[in-house]
């Protein structure tokens, strides 16, 4: 009798796993519940989210058919993200997708049991999300968009040689930017360049921080920083107005007016993330799925920005670049 009761209890518990996460109750036994927390809305993160959903569809999980998605925009606000993460946990999502570093950190601090798949986390170890890229260990895995400040600055030397001072525009609250800025400083000191930093805490400070740098430096560099990415319009107005080459770290930031970058394709990253989510939904443990880094990188340039600031791309750059922002 006791055994039967236990079995019943386990069954009831198992069934309750399929409910919730913003469930509207359809197909309770077949539908998986997925929570998506996106740090904020800016072009790159939106592309990533759309591509994750495509990657899931390619793996057999179709939104509105056998999967329900509860999407939450974190609005770059830790309090909003904490609440969203708590809701996903209370609703017993089958998996939680976190887009960008602070979103992944917010979700991980609410659950060490529900599987979490992160997307586009620049440095997952430094951000405290996984023990190692090869063996994440806990309930978390995902994709990384690691960037090399050195490779982007090598491109800067090719496009606008002769600079001596580099402005660094980034957000002090983003761990994803911190490790890239450390790399920038290392590169600069090996080359004898001076780095002038201007850190912001939110996007409303970007204009003033950009102005401060524009008066002081030869070129500006921004890491893969969400706060800067969401304020590209004001940043490029300052830099392009003062003819300062503005090197960035993502294709979307070039499309939004940055001069150039060397980086990954975020539609590929999003699809890969979607496939990892499907693996987890199929029963694999995040602990055993290595973090995936994107290997294909391209040069992205903005011809309009170059024209506006009087820069001519060398033929060798034009030959291998993708032109954005047309």
Q: Which residues contact ligand TRP (rule: CB under 6 A)?
A: 44-45, 100-101, 120-122, 145, 176, 224-226, 229, 250, 252-253, 266
Of 31 and 38, CB closest to ligand TRP: 38
Does residue 299 contact residue 317 with C-beta atoms inside 8 Å? yes
Q: Decide whether 193 or 300 has the Cβ nearer to ligand TRP.
A: 300
Please say which residue, 32 or 53, places its beta carbon nearer to ligand TRP. Answer: 53
| CB-based contact 141:98 (threshold 8 Å) | no
Q: State the minimum distance, in angstroms, from the CB of residue 127 to ligand TRP.
A: 7
How far apart CA 112 and CA 109 sit, in angstroms, is 8
Q: Enter the tokens of residue 58.
A: 């390619």
Q: Is 180:122 a contact under the CB 8 Å cutoff?
A: yes
Q: Is the dihedral of CA 102, 72, 233, 326 positive or negative?
A: positive
CB of 319 to ligand TRP, least distance (A): 25
Euclidean distance between CA atoms 141 and 136, whole angstroms: 6
Vertex 301, ends 300 and 306: CA angle to 5°?
Answer: 170
Q: Is 298 strand, coil or helix?
A: strand
Nearer to ligand TRP, 70 or 145 (CB): 145
Query: Cα separation of 238 and 223, whole Å?
Result: 18
Query: What does 252-268 look like in DSSP terms, one character per residue?
Result: HHHHTT--EEEEE-HHH
Nearer to ligand TRP by C-beta: 89 or 255?
255
- Min dist. Cβ of residue 53 to ligand TRP (A): 16
Measured distance CA(215)–CA(234) in Å, rounded: 16
Minimal distance, residue 171 CB to ligand TRP, in Å: 10
Give least dist CB 91 to ligand TRP, A: 25
**DSSP code of 63?**
B
Q: Smallest distance, Å, CB 226 to ligand TRP?
A: 5
97: which 2 tokens?
Answer: 């997708």
In the complex with ligand TRP, which residue's Cβ is closer, 59 or 267?
Answer: 267
In the complex, least distance from residue 76 CB atom to ligand TRP, rounded to whole angstroms = 11
- Which of 197, 203, 193 is closest to 181 using CA atoms? 197
Cα dihedral 97, 269, 78, 83, rounded to 10, equals -20
**Closest listed residue to residue 156, CA positions, set 236, 226, 218:** 218
Between 44 and 73, whose beta carbon lies closer to ligand TRP? 44
Min dist CB 170 to ligand TRP, Å, is 10
Which CB atom, from 147 or from 281, has the smaller least distance to ligand TRP?
A: 147
């Amino acid at each position: 009798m006791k055994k039967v009761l236990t079995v019943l209890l386990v069954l009831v518990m198992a069934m309750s796993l399929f409910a919730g996460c913003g469930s509207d109750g359809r197909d309770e036994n077949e539908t998986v519940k997925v929570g998506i927390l996106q740090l904020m809305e800016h072009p790159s993160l939106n592309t990533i989210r759309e591509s994750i959903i495509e990657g899931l569809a390619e793996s057999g999980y179709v939104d509105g058919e056998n999967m329900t998605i509860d999407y939450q925009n974190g609005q770059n606000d830790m309090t909003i993200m904490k609440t969203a993460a708590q809701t996903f946990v209370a609703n017993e999502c089958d998996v939680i997708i976190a887009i960008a570093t602070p979103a992944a950190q917010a979700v991980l601090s609410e659950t060490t049991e529900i599987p979490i798949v992160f997307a586009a986390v620049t440095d997952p170890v430094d951000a405290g999300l996984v023990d190692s890229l090869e063996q994440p260990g806990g309930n978390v895995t995902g994709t990384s968009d690691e960037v090399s400040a050195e490779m982007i600055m090598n491109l800067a030397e090719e496009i606008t040689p002769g600079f001596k001072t580099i402005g660094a525009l980034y957000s002090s609250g983003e761990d994803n930017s911190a490790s890239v800025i450390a790399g920038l400083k290392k590169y600069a000191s090996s080359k004898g360049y001076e780095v002038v930093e201007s850190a912001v805490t939110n996007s409303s400070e970007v204009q003033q921080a950009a102005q401060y740098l524009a008066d002081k430096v030869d070129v500006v560099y921004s890491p893969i920083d969400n706060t800067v990415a969401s304020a590209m319009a004001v940043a490029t107005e300052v830099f392009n107005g003062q003819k300062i080459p503005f090197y960035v770290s993502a294709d979307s930031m070039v499309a939004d007016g940055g001069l150039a970058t060397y980086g990954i394709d975020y539609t590929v990253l999003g699809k890969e993330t979607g496939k990892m989510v499907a693996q987890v939904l199929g029963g694999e443990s995040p602990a055993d799925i290595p973090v995936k880094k994107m290997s294909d990188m391209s040069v992205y340039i903005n011809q309009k920005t170059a024209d506006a600031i009087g820069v001519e791309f060398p033929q060798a750059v034009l030959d291998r670049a993708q032109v954005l922002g047309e």
